[in-house]
Amino acid sequence: MSLYGMMRTGVSGMNAQANRLSTVADNIANSSTTGYKRASTQFASLVLPSSGGAYNSGGVETVIRHHISQDGAQRFTDSSTDLALKGNGFFIVGNADDTPYLTRAGSFVPDAQGNLVNSAGYFLMGYPVVNGNVNPVANGFQGLEKVSIAQNDLIADPSRTGIFTANLPAGASIIAAADRPPTKTDASAQYSAKTSVQTFDNLGNVVVVDLYFTKTADNTWQVAAYNHANASAAGGFPYIPTTPLAEQNYTFDGVTGKLTGATSFTVPGMPGALSGRPNSPDLILDFSATKQLAGDYTPIEVKIDGNTPSPIDNVSIGKDGTVTAIYKNGAKRDIYKIALADVPSPDNLLVMTGNVFSPSADSGDVQLGFAGTGSFGALTSSALEESNADIAQELTEMIESQRSYTANSKVFQTGADLMDVLVNLKR
């Protein structure tokens, strides 16, 4: 056995315990850091070949492991832009150079430009919602943008879809073709029921559409739509121009009272004064739940999308990562969808400054998706994931490491003492 080898083994042990103490120090320092993933020191023996009955002491080497795949506890906050994940997945964030990284630190707040940024200065990334759709990329970061809740201008959203549910009275009188619109267009035009609905054009102007329901035969009704702005001073016929915006017949089952044919009604978004909604998209009303039953004409549910020009007042973030802008006039609009990323081996991600991670050859390729789909975990708004470092466990490891360091130092000291004995043999 070599005395120098024994001393080197003691030094190896002290270095290993120093590394362990370093990870403990990091874990304790970051025990309150949102989304922090604790590090631990793993030990592996170094064995030197022995021969001739002499044992050559080796040493110990350390490998640092980051427990990235281990969830931290969640705590709730009063900020709608605080986000927490439970299960697989990471938020995708970018730095000032738009370099993408992964993180579990979801304490996002808007900066001066309205971009959501966490405490380390990384911007939250997501897909913009365009006409109600997103265009995700499954294996890359293309198409992602900084999630911004700033509103430097007003946004008007035209009406595109709606629901109109009513009861049409089964006992209503049949009105002859010559007496009903659009054949008759003067003030004496007859109809069974009328309802006005509020819609919005591309500029956010309110466009009131008058819907006329006329019973034309047993179990058959005609629906005609007119622009209220074209009505007479009395608020009805005659309309100028006299042509309706749309007209369609509907048939009901005489036994159940349910619609048996067409279930939607389209108000065209044509240009010009005829529609009152210039250059706006078609408005499609869902009539599927409308029935013909006994009783009076009764509108049950009328719901049409769109809004007047209004700034964003607040945002809400759904479980699927959809960022919804809530306007001051009460309207809502989806503006982004937060993407999540995952890798086959999260614990082998490269740990970077700012509590972010970068893919490596050992971690595997990045796959993107959305919360609650596939293997991706659940997203919670108004919550934060706490550090997964346990102070009690770290203090216990610190004591163990201190004792082991002291024991290794004794090995080194003993080797040094024996070396002194060997050197002094000549005296």
Q: Give the pLDDT score at 253.
A: 95
Tokens 């529609």 belong to which residue? 275
Rg over alpha carbons for the chain, rounded to the nearest Å, is 36
What whole-number distance in Å separates Cα of residue 290 and Cα of residue 325? 31
Question: What proportion of the chain, given as a percentage, has pLDDT over 90?
Answer: 64
- State the pairing for strand pair 161-169/291-293: parallel
pLDDT at 276 over 80: no
- CB distance 343 to 367 below 8 Å: yes
Q: Give the pLDDT score at 264.
A: 95
- CB distance 326 to 332 below 8 Å: yes
Q: Give the pLDDT score at 273.
A: 47
Q: Is the model more confident about 26 or about 308?
A: 26
Looking at beta carbons, which pairs linking 139-143 to residues 24 or more positions away fall under 8 Å?
139/365, 139/366, 139/367, 139/368, 140/366, 140/368, 141/92, 141/100, 141/366, 141/368
Q: What is the DSSP string of 270-287?
A: -SSTTTSSTTPPPEEEE-
Q: Is the model more confident about 159 or about 49?
A: 159
Domain 156-309 CATH superfamily: Flagellar hook protein FlgE (2.60.98.20)
Strands (E) across 201-346 are located at 206-217, 220-227, 246-251, 264-267, 283-286, 291-293, 298-304, 307-310, 312-317, 322-327, 332-338, 340-342
Q: Give the pLDDT score at 71.
A: 93
pLDDT at 1 over 60: no
pLDDT at 349 over 90: yes
Q: Give the pLDDT score at 361.
A: 92
- The pair of three-digit structure tokens given for residue 335, joined into one six-digit string: 């503006």
Mean pLDDT of the chain: 89
The one-letter code for the residue type at 178 is: A
Kind plus residue range of the DSSP H or E element containing 419: helix 391-423
pLDDT at 325 over 90: no
122 CB-side CA count, 13 A: 22
- CB distance 415 to 66 below 8 Å: no
Q: Give the pLDDT score at 152.
A: 53
Q: 241-250, 318-327, 375-384, 417-426: which range is least confident on average?
A: 417-426
- The pair of three-digit structure tokens given for residue 67, joined into one six-digit string: 């427990």
Q: Is 382 helix (H, G, I), strand (E, B) or coil?
A: coil
What whole-number distance in Å separates Cα of residue 159 and Cα of residue 47? 75
Give mean pLDDT, residues 282-287: 95
- CB distance 149 to 124 below 8 Å: no
Question: What proportion of the chain, given as a percentage, has pLDDT over 70?
Answer: 96
pLDDT at 229 over 70: yes
Q: Give the pLDDT score at 54.
A: 76
Buried b (16+ CB within 10 A) or exposed e, 412-421: beebeeeeee
Q: Give the pLDDT score at 299.
A: 95
What whole-number distance in Å separates Cα of residue 427 and Cα of residue 424? 6
pLDDT at 21 over 80: yes
How confident is the model over 120-179, as pLDDT tens digits?
Answer: 999 999 999 887 888 888 888 888 999 988 865 567 778 999 999 999 999 999 999 999
Tokens 């349910």 belong to which residue? 258
Domain parsing of the chain, residue ranges: 3-67+388-426, 78-150+336-385, 156-309
Give mean pLDDT, residues 15-20: 92
Which residues are within 8 A (CB) of 408 and not within 5 positions of it... i.e. 6 or more apart?
10, 11, 13, 14, 17
What whole-number distance in Å separates Cα of residue 141 and Cα of residue 92? 9
Which residues are within 8 A (CB) of 97 and not within 5 positions of it... i.e. 6 or more apart?
none
Q: Is 32 helix (H, G, I), strand (E, B) or coil?
A: coil
